[in-house]
Structure 1
Amino acid sequence: MVPLFVATVVAAVVLWPRDAAPRTGGGTDAPRHHGTVTRVVTEPCPPSADPEGTPATGPCGTVDVRIEDGRSAGQQVTTPVPAGPGAPRVEVGDEVVLVELTDPTDPAVSSWNIAEHQRGTPLVWVAVVFAAAIVAFGRWRGLAALAGLAASFAILLTFVLPAIGAGRSPLLVAVVGAALIMFVVLYLTHGVTAQTSVAVLGTLGSLVLTGVLATIATAATHLTGFGSEDATTLSMFQADVDLRGLLLAGIIIGSLGVLDDVTVTQAATVTELANANPGLSRLQLYRAATRVGRAHIASTVNTIVLAYAGASLPLLLLLTSDTRPLGQILTSEFLAQEIVRSAVATLGLIAAVPLTTGLAAVVTAAGSTAAQGADADALTPRPRADRTEALAALSSPPAGRPDGPDPERNAPPSTATDRWPEPNRSTDTAW
């Protein structure tokens, strides 16, 4: 693990943006102030200026707002009722954000408009409940998980996003940033153990495979990265950003969270199986843990697709109203991008199960063998009991109960071979 960690740190140092001045959109933002709504007056909308004289779309009226901060704190201002798509609906007592617009011809004249609701206080309470629930259930490990979450956002905001904005390769930055997040979060949350190292190795291998598959898939489908309105808007402000590479980076960063879940679970499963039955071989550990992984993957695949679908509901709803044939809709840039994203993430997830399980089986079995060899001289050998006697003892009736038919079940006494399970029986349900 040490060479991989050193290589990740060196790559981060090389890719780290230096002397990168923050880019702006070319204008200055209007002053914003907090205020409280004191009165709302609605009225019929006047006829519009078109020849037919149809009324303008509402609502219409005025809103009185008391400014809470800045040089105008305590002042009452009157603003128009917010109207238009996405306009906030305000009532008396609502806390809102005001925008002050100055007349270019006369700087002494200004007007006020309601931009949106204040969401600071509700968001703080949501964050407090979120953190309290995690700490209450996970205790110290939950606290470590919160620290890992903070570290993930710190790496994204201080390294990944500035490096991509500075013109570095988005794919390379995403792989290095994901590796940094993986090292910090996994070891911080689960401790510096062999089990965590196996999860880190499985996650890193799956991330590399996901990046390769994403590169091949986007090249084969000729995706350009202009599959969303956000990407198109970004291209107008930062023309030198590689949007296709940004798409690949998004696939890798998005896959990291689910990969962590699968690799940590598989490594923990192998460890628990080995502790429950130290006599299991590597192949037996691998087969048993893989059965758990299949059940995990079967549910996680649906999770990935639904997560992407939920994030793209407006897009999907827009496509359903499209009059084009279904084949053209599925192969459009907008939907093809989401299909590739889901498929590549799923393939990387599937590969994580055998990779992590195999590594965990090798490491766990090697650790058990080393421990047994180290303790062999210190342990007093016990006489090996006859298997038939052991099975007969396990199958014998409890003390004080006659060895005969079960009076409750009215069944004949069972033998050892009837009660002992088959040693190689699979727990998979037959279809």
Structure 2
Amino acid sequence: MGSTERHGFYRAPWVLQSAMGFTERHGFYRAPWVLQSAMGSTERHGFYRAPWVLQSAMGFTERHGFYRAPWVLQSAMGFTERHGFYRAPWVLQSAMGSTERHGFYRAPWVLQSAMGFTERHGFYIVLWVLHSAMGFTERHGFYRAPWVLHSAMCSTERHGFYIAPWVLHSAMGSTERHGFYRAPWVLQSAMGSTERHGFYRAPWVLQSAMGFTERHGFYIAPWVLQSAMGSTERHGFYRAPWVLQSAMGSTERHGFYRAPWVLQSAMGSTERHGFYRAPWVLQSAMGFTERHGFYRAPWVLQSAMGFTERHGFYRAPWVLQSAMGFTERHGFYRAPWVLQSAMGSTKRHGFYKAPWVLQSAMGSTERHGFYRAPWVLQSAMGSTERHGFYRAPWVLQSAMGSTEHHGFYRAPWVLQSAMGFTERHGFYRAPWVLQSEMGFT
């Protein structure tokens, strides 16, 4: 029957295999590793591990009944790979100099464009800087082009320039009288001069020909008149004070000419490297950002957004939590133990273990997605509890002296009765024993 001798007795193959820790499956005994291999387990260091045990040991995380690698989870959350690590979108944008606005990161030029800046040579320049660079002058809070200012003063355009009325009249030879410019012949006719060959001559015509001008009945040389009016000699000509000041870059304010630095200082500008800078220019150069019409330092803005100072820098709450190993869930960062506890893990020796890890450590075996204790599995297979252990039916029957025939265990008397033995005094005798006792030969 295929039995093997052990310690003076013959044992059936399955009795020997059961004693070696084999388990019965479909009428055969399989070694533990055969069963584990059939369930998809892999051999590691002499033991078979289930796929999820190996994946968990490699840092994978369970999602929807599967184990995902960290980078698979991060990629699914919109993270991007940089230098071998996955970075969140806002970490990449922040590293590129973008600034957070209304929950989004905007590039510097997007913010500047939204504030009305204009792009020039790869930079965004505010409108008044562009206007100033084009020679415009500030009037009543606006920058006016030179020709707009001249036109407002009644100047007339000639050959691409704006000329004041008196300059045009003067260019045509007219002379100012009582606030008006008169043509030469009007003045001469009024003084009794007579026309000769198309010209009016008078005694004083000679003096006039030398460039003298009549004042209070006398002809006075031009330089005498100009000097008397406060003009100063420059390169052989007399210039009025405002002409000199204008040539030096001064600007007219309330009837006086002010130097550029006087005007800038009056507007609150500060001198830097020989130039006057507006307060916002200085603050912007120091990295300040405009908020509600004022410039705030970076740390003031960050602090107002709930950032916390660490090692001289302000970090966003999520940056600090991420650095402590927290994981983002539904827009919040959760500590590892909070996530594990929410998934039903239990704390053991300062760590959270998943239910199946605890059950596996207690010797339970996975069946149909659940972990069963050894005695639950044995009881389900028809084993009976004896002295604190579960024995298979055939183990109990074998211990009671039964013998296996045709896949079943029979008691000795059942076997003897089947072989024609007869019961006598509590024992079964073979026919020949009974016949011999009765004297048969």
TM-score normalised to structure 1 length: 0.15
Higher share of residues assigned helix = 1
Q: Determine which structure has more spread, i.e. the larger CA radius of gyration.
A: 2
Higher RCO, 1 or 2 (CA under 8 Å, sep at least 6)? 1
